[in-house]
Amino acid sequence: MYRLTFLFRSCFLFFATLQTVAGFSQKKTIDQKIDSVLKLMTLDEKVGQMNQYSGPWAHTGPITEQGDFLQQVKGGKLGSLLNINGVQHTRELQQIAMQSRLKIPLLFGQDVIHGYRTTFPIPLAEAASWDLQAIELSARIAATEAAASGIHWTFAPMVDIARDPRWGRVMEGAGEDTYLGSQIAGARVRGFQGKGLGNIDAVMACAKHFAAYGAAIGGRDYNSVDMSERTLWEFYLPPFKAAADAGAATFMNSFNDLNGIPATANSYLQKDILKGKWKFKGFIVSDWGSVGEMVKHGYVKNNYEAALAAVLAGNDMDMESRAYRNHLAQLVKENKVPVAVVNEAVKRILKKKFELGLFDDPYKFSNAQREQQELNNPEHKKIARDISKKSIVLLKNENNLLPLSKNIKTIAVIGPLAKSKMEMLGFWSTGWPDSNYIVSQYEGLQNKLGTGAKLLYARGCGIEDSSRNGFDEAIAIAQQADVVIISVGEKRDMSGEAKSRSNIHLPGVQEELIKAIYSTGKPVVVLISAGRPLIFNWTADHVQSILYTWWLGDEAGNAIADVLFGDYNPSGKLPMTFPLTEGQLPIYYNHFNTGRPAENDRDRFYRSAYIDLSIHPKFPFGYGLSYTNFKYDNLKLSSATIKDGKTIDVSFTLTNTGKYSGEEVVQLYLRDEVASVVRPVKELKDFRKVFLQPGESKQVTFIINKEKLSFYNQKLQWITEPGKFDLMIGSSSDDIRLKQSFELNGN
Ligand code: BGC
C-alpha cells in the first residue's frame, strides 16, 4: 500500500512538473523557469539541446525519416534544426518534439540573408544605399515573412569586414569600412528582432562569423587569418560589438583560425571578449561542421577532442558536426568537461526559447493563414523596389546620357543578364522557384515604357561563354536602336560561400561583347549585376554610362528602370573599393601612410608603389554619381580646439546645383596626424544622406566627440591623444570637398 501511494505521488509530482514546464506560471522569472527545466533534464537531454542538424528532406517534400533523426527529436535530444521551411513542416516537427519527455520546443534556424519570400538586394548592395532606415526595413520585412513561415532564427547579419573582393562572401556583408559596417550591423539586428523576441514578427539575429573570417588570406574562403590584435580590435571587431549592443540574440563563430587558434575553440574571442568583456547573454552556435573541422585544421586529433576544445572555449551549440552529440556526455562523465559548462550553455539556449515564447506556445509561429498573408503581401515588393533603387551606383555618366528619355523610339537590350530572372536573386536567396515574382531587367523596361518604345533584344553571349556567335545578331539590333542597354555580370553562384575567384574581371566574353556593340557608335549604357566589385576597365574607360546594379532581388528590373529613366535619381555609393586589377588586392581606402608614400603614379622611385601598376583603385570607397550636382561650402567649426571632453560642431552648406532633385551621401573623414601608433590616412567617422530639390541648400552638422578621435594604443587601450586632426568632408573617400584641422587638447 505504502509503495503504491509513493508511486502515485511520484507520478503526480512528475506530471505536475511537466505541466509547469509547458504552461509555466507567469509569476516566475525566465531565469527561475529555466532553472526548473534544467533540474528535470538528464545529461543526454542537456547535450541534446546543444545540437543543431540540418533538415534531411526537400523543402517542398514530405518528412522522410532519416537515420535516428526523428527519434532524437522525439527523445528530446535535439535543440534546433536548420533548413526547415514553412508552417507545415515546422509544425509537424514541433509536434514530434512535443511527444518528448520534457516537451522542450525546437528552434528553427535558416539563412535569411537578404529576404525570405521577397528577395531584397544582397547585403553588399544594400550597404551601397548608405540608408540605415531602408536597410533596417528590409531586415524587418525579411523577419516578418520568415517568422510567419515558422522560422525563429536567421543566420544574419554577416558583419565581417572584407577588404578583398576575391573572397566570394563579400556579397553578404557591408563592405570594407568599420564605421559603415557597424552602423549597418546595428540596423540589421534591429530590423530582424523588431520590437523584441516574443513578438510574432521577430526572429533572432545571429551576428557572424566571429571573428575575422573576412580577412581570409588571399581572399580564399575558409582560409587562415593572421592579424595583429590592434587590427582585430580596431577594424574587425567593432561591427560585432555593434551587433551585440543592438541586442543580437546569437552569434556564430567561424571556420577560420585566428592567429593559429580556430575560432570555434577560441576562448579569447568567445569567452574573454564576447561573453566576458561585452557581457553577451545570448548563445554561440558553431558554423556548419566547424567543431569537427578542427580535426582537419590539425588542432585536435578527433571529434572527441574537438567537442572538448569547442565547449570549453564557449561554443554553446554544435551545428552539424555531431561532435557534441557523440562525445559531450562522455566528456562530462569523465570529468573533462564540468557539468556547469553544459548547464551554462543549455541555459543560454533555453533562455532564447523562453524569450521567443515557445514554451508558452510551441506553435506560435505556425499559423498557416498568417503565412499566406505575409508571403503574399504586395507592400513587401514595394519596399524591395525602394531599397533596390537606392542600392544602385552610378559609376559613369558622360555627357549626361542618363537619365534616358521615356520618348526614345527604339532601345536595343543586349546581354546575358537582360532577361535572366534567377540571376537577379543572387547567392543566399531562399530560392523560391516562382519566376513570376521576379522582375527581369527586360520586363522592368517593358513595365516602364509600355508600348511607347520598341524594345529589341539579343542575348549576345552567355555569362561565361567563350563563343562570340551571338555578337552579329546583337550588333544588328544595336544598329537599329537609338540607345543600347547592355546587361552583363556574374551568375548568381559566382559570388557567395566557397565562391572565391582569382580573376574578378567580367566573366567570359562579356567585355568583348561590349566592345563590339560600342563600335557601332550608338550610345551605350552598361548595367553590371554582380555580387562583388568586378574589374571592367575597358568598359569604364569607354562607354558613356555605367550603373552598378549588384544582385538586386525580385524587383531588380523595376528598380533599374526607375533609375534609367530618371524616376529615381541614383544615390548609391560604393561600400568597397573597386580595384584596377587583382594585383592590387587587398586594397582599401583606410590604409596607413607608410614612411615612403607615393604622391602619384609617377612617383615610384623607392616608394611604396608598384613599378608596373598604379596604386590607385578604379573606383574608390564611397564613390557614386548622381544626375544632379552638389556643392559643398561654408565649412564652420564651432571651435578650433576640443578640450575637457567637450564636442565641436562641424557644419557646412550643401546645395543641389543641378536640374534634378536627389540625395547626396556626405561623408566625414578624420585623420589623426601624429599618434603613438600609426594611424590610417583617413577614416570614415560619420555620414548623412541628404535630399535636396534643385537649387535647394541645407546646412549639415556633424558633431565631433572624443569617441570619433579614439583609437587602440599599443596596449590595446581605447584612448585619445592630444594633437592635430585633419577633418575632411566629401562626396567619396577620394573626392574631399572641404578640409580643415582642429586640435585636441588634453585626453
Ligand atoms: C555558412 C554560414 C551559414 C551556415 C548554415 C555555413 O556554411 O558559413 O554562414 O549560416 O552554413 O547554412
Domain locations along the chain: 41-108+257-270+289-376, 378-580, 630-744
Q: Which atom of ligand 1 is nearest to the CA of 209?
A: 9
**Which of the following CATH numbers is that of domain 630-744: 3.30.565.10, 3.40.1650.10, 2.60.40.10, 3.30.1330.10?**
2.60.40.10
State the pLDDT at residue 3: 35
CA 81 to ligand 1 center in whole angstroms: 13
CA 285 to ligand 1 center in whole angstroms: 11
CA 681 to ligand 1 center in whole angstroms: 35
Is 499 strand, coil or helix?
coil
Minimum CA distance residue for ligand 1 atom 5 = 288
> Best substitution site from 158, 206, 288, 321 to test ligand 1's pocket, by max atoms within 8 Å of Cβ?
288
User: Fold identical between 41-108+257-270+289-376 and 378-580?
Assistant: no
Please confirm, yes or no, whether 726 is among the known catalytic residues. Answer: no
CA 288 to ligand 1 center in whole angstroms: 6
User: Residues 160, 287, 386, 686: which is the catalytic one?
Assistant: 287
> Best substitution site from 82, 151, 167, 287 to test ligand 1's pocket, by max atoms within 8 Å of Cβ?
287
Q: Under a CB-based contact definition with an 8 Å cutoff, are residues 460 and 470 in contact?
A: yes
State the pLDDT at residue 20: 42
State the pLDDT at residue 6: 33
Tell me which CATH code domain 378-580 carries: 3.40.50.1700
Exposed e or buried b per residue across 126-159, where buried means at least 16 C-beta atoms within 10 angstroms of its C-beta: bbbbbbbebbbbbbbbbbbbbbbbbbbbbbbbbb
Minimum CA distance residue for ligand 1 atom 2 = 287
State the pLDDT at residue 2: 33
Minimum CA distance residue for ligand 1 atom 7 = 288
Which residues does the chain have with pLDDT short of 50? Answer: 1-20, 22, 58-61, 65
CA 155 to ligand 1 center in whole angstroms: 7
Backbone angles phi, psi at 706, to 5 degrees: -60, -40
Model pLDDT for residues 250-300, shown as the tens digit of each residue? 999 999 999 999 999 999 999 999 999 999 999 999 999 999 999 999 999
Model pLDDT for residues 688-729, shown as the tens digit of each residue? 999 999 999 999 999 999 999 999 999 999 999 999 999 999
Locate the DSSP E strands across 202-313. Answer: 206-210, 250-253, 257-258, 261-262, 283-285
Pairing of strands 648-656, 697-704: antiparallel
> Best substitution site from 81, 107, 111 to test ligand 1's pocket, by max atoms within 8 Å of Cβ?
111
> Best substitution site from 110, 155, 206, 253 to test ligand 1's pocket, by max atoms within 8 Å of Cβ?
155
Q: Which atom of ligand 1 is nearest to the CA of 172?
A: 9
Cis peptide before 403 (omega within 30 of 0): yes
Beta carbons within 8 Å of 220's beta carbon, 6+ residues apart = 166, 167, 500
Task: List residues bridging with 301 in a β-sheet.
Answer: none
Residues touching ligand 1 (Cβ under 6 Å) are 82, 111, 155, 208, 287-288, 497
State the pLDDT at residue 344: 98
Beta carbons within 8 Å of 700's beta carbon, 6+ residues apart = 651, 652, 653, 654, 666, 688, 690
CA 437 to ligand 1 center in whole angstroms: 26
Q: Which atom of ligand 1 is nearest to the CA of 206?
A: 10
Q: What's the maximum distance between 2 C-alpha atoms anywhere in the chain? A: 103
Minimum CA distance residue for ligand 1 atom 10 = 155
Q: Under a CB-based contact definition with an 8 Å cutoff, are residues 729 and 652 in contact?
A: yes
State the pLDDT at residue 12: 35
Minimum CA distance residue for ligand 1 atom 11 = 288
* 175 conformational bin, left if phi > 0, alpha if psi -120 to 50, beta if neither: left
Q: Under a CB-based contact definition with an 8 Å cutoff, are residues 185 and 192 in contact?
A: no
Distance CA 119, CA 112 (A): 10
Between the CA of residue 747 and those of 303, 645, 658, 702, 743, what are the distances in Å? 50, 8, 44, 21, 11
CA-wise closest residue to 652 among 573, 733, 726, 739: 739
State the pLDDT at residue 645: 83
CA 137 to ligand 1 center in whole angstroms: 23
Q: Which atom of ligand 1 is nearest to the CA of 254?
A: 8
CA 287 to ligand 1 center in whole angstroms: 6
Q: Which atom of ligand 1 is nearest to the CA of 255?
A: 8
CA 248 to ligand 1 center in whole angstroms: 17
Q: Under a CB-based contact definition with an 8 Å cutoff, are residues 76 and 350 in contact?
A: no
CA 357 to ligand 1 center in whole angstroms: 26
Minimum CA distance residue for ligand 1 atom 4 = 288
Between the CA of residue 469 and those of 185, 222, 415, 488, 509, what are the distances in Å? 46, 38, 13, 17, 11
Q: Under a CB-based contact definition with an 8 Å cutoff, are residues 689 and 130 in contact?
A: yes
Q: Which atom of ligand 1 is nearest to the CA of 158?
A: 9
Tell me which CATH code domain 41-108+257-270+289-376 carries: 3.20.20.300
Grid cell, residue 82, equals: 536548420
Minimum CA distance residue for ligand 1 atom 8 = 287
> Best substitution site from 286, 497, 499, 500 to test ligand 1's pocket, by max atoms within 8 Å of Cβ?
497
CA 531 to ligand 1 center in whole angstroms: 17
State the pLDDT at residue 303: 97
